[in-house]
Structure 1
């Protein structure tokens, strides 16, 4: 006995996104874009102040690391500050800060890495970030900023490679 195939029924669900958004998007309002860009320009000073405040917090944590050591709770605080700056630098038009803070974060992201990380290298990152902000070095188009970021990253990569080559460290980290 041959079984009869059931006819296929296509169900098209309603496009709820279109209902919520209100249909097609109209033409681009160039004036609105200009106003938004002007508002962002007006906020550059505010962005600068926010970034300055975050770098001050990083430096405060670095001061505690210099006094108490990178394996102290200050090391964890330094990581948290570097991690925050890694996310903010590019937003505030300082991608070089994002790059340097990312390198510092990679250096001290775990307790195990902080155990082998040279305090001087962590502090060098902090000083480099401050120098970039003070000198207005925003990105790696500046040859000194680029060279400094590359050197910091190179030292961190060498140290992290050593860390990852140690079987006991890999098991712990």
Structure 2
């Protein structure tokens, strides 16, 4: 069969999907948002425990990685833990931890980097994350945390510049 414009029009017409009629919401958008915020607030106490667990998992992965930093599986595990924190920390109320974890992910993605420099910077990133979680430093209103995050990001950027 030769496809013509007529055939294509027929196929397109035969596959039209008509959406079902949407029912009006029984609750206002504002009430839905208020309920969601209330649910999040009720879980906020648990957030501290969750972020501590994530930081401990990252520390455990770092310890294993430091034994053999050239091992791909250990590097992947460390990266995965950092990546989890990168995404979860802001949601858990620790955006500064997310920022540092983002920098750590970028660092671990560097190819052909000096091993000693990689180890030193990785330990610095994990140490900064542990300190922020321990001291409940949540965001950049803490000048020391903001400066440390900036320094770590600058070190990773410098490393990338040296490689290119």
The range that moved more, 32-41 or 154-163, is: 32-41
Q: How does 1:4-153 map to 2 (within 5 A)?
A: 16=19, 19=20, 22-23=22-23, 28=28, 30-68=30-68, 70-72=69-71, 73-109=73-109, 112-113=112-113, 117-153=117-153
3-state SS, counterpart of residue 139 of structure 1: coil
Closer, same or farther in 2 for the Cα pair 1:91/1:113, shift >3 Å?
farther
Closer, same or farther in 2 for the Cα pair 1:80/1:27, shift >3 Å?
closer
Closer, same or farther in 2 for the Cα pair 1:26/1:60, shift >3 Å?
same
Match of 2:7 in 1: none
3-state SS, counterpart of residue 136 of structure 1: coil
Runs of 5+ consecutive residues of structure 2 not aligned to the other structure: 1-12
CA RMSD of aligned residues (A): 2.4
Query: Paired residues, what number?
Result: 149
Q: TM-score, normalised by structure 1?
A: 0.75
Q: How far apart are the structure 2 equivalents of 1:29 and 1:105?
A: 37
Closer, same or farther in 2 for the Cα pair 1:157/1:111, shift >3 Å?
closer
Closer, same or farther in 2 for the Cα pair 1:15/1:48, shift >3 Å?
farther
Give deviations 1:32-80, integer Å, cap 9, x for gaps.
Answer: 4333222111101222222211111100011122232x21232221111
Closer, same or farther in 2 for the Cα pair 1:24/1:34, shift >3 Å?
closer
Q: TM-score, normalised by structure 2?
A: 0.78
8 A Cα contact 2:137 2:145, kept in partner: yes
Q: How far apart are the structure 1 equivalents of 2:30 and 2:56?
A: 38
Runs of 5+ consecutive residues of structure 1 not aligned to the other structure: 1-10, 166-173
- Measure how far apart 1:131 and its partner are: 0.6
8 A Cα contact 1:83 1:105, kept in partner: yes
